[in-house]
Amino acid sequence: MKNTTLWAVVIIIVFFGILLGTTAFYIVDQTQQAIVIRFGNILNIRTEPGIYVKTPFIDNVVKLEKRIMIYDIPVERVITSDRRTILADTYAIWRIEDPQKFIETLRTVEVAKTRIDDIVYSHARDVIGNYTFSEVLSFQRVAILEDIKNRSEASLQDFGINVVDVRLKRTDLPQENTEAVYERMKSERYAMAAQLRAEGEREAQRIRAEADKQASRIRSDAQREAEIIRGTGEASAINIYSQAYSLDQDFYELQKITDIYKDSFNNSVLVIPNDSPLLKFFYEVE
């Protein structure tokens, strides 16, 4: 009986020893940070990996993620400054920077996501509302996201959350607006094409008028130069004829008539009266 009682005591001691051993220690790995809470008050915060001791059955250990997390914010409707409704699909990159503030204000990651959702959407709505639809789609998109990120970071700082970045995955128009925007863009493109065609036609007319003007000037210059050359040539010919005539009148006359024969009798029939001066040398030949 005594042995049985002794073994029972030993088993109870071992049981409580194992129980105390498993509840008196806790492990924090590289990806975690732990908060030790006793009666609702924060007793310790462990951010470095290791094995730590706590008071069994009294201390409660809450472990939080130490790594950067991504929260995909549901798509929300946002109105731009030119009264366009767009669907903003954003996500936030964040981490728990101050575990004490985080536990005191939010307690859990799920509650934190709800708060991130509210704050980021609120700032996205305010910031995008200051820009037009075209500006949201332009290079100003980077500045818009930076502004949303800075405002969200300032708002979530009191909750122990650090917002690393806010990104806009896509910006779409609501389905009911897509067709209307498409029709308007098509009309704008048609108007732009018509304007370009009209400008091209005006430019073509200007080029043709300039070309006609230059051609007219070139023809006038060429005609004037031709008249000068012709006049000079005729003057030279008259001078040459005059010199030839003064040297030998008969030979000159013979040469002229010979040239007339050559030009007139070439594959043609020429009717000349008997008393024509052209036949003068025929009658003189014996």
Q: Specify the CATH number of the domain 67-174.
A: 3.30.479.30
Q: What is the dihedral of CA 184, 185, 189, 194, to 10 degrees?
A: 10
Domain boundaries defined on the chain: 21-64, 67-174
Q: Tens-digit pLDDT profile for the chain (286 aa)?
A: 567 777 888 888 887 777 777 788 899 999 999 999 998 899 989 999 999 988 888 899 999 999 999 999 988 888 888 888 888 889 999 999 999 999 999 989 999 999 999 999 999 999 999 998 888 888 788 899 999 999 999 999 999 999 999 988 877 777 766 677 778 888 999 999 999 999 999 999 999 999 999 999 999 999 999 999 999 999 998 888 788 778 877 777 777 777 777 777 667 676 777 777 767 766 665 5
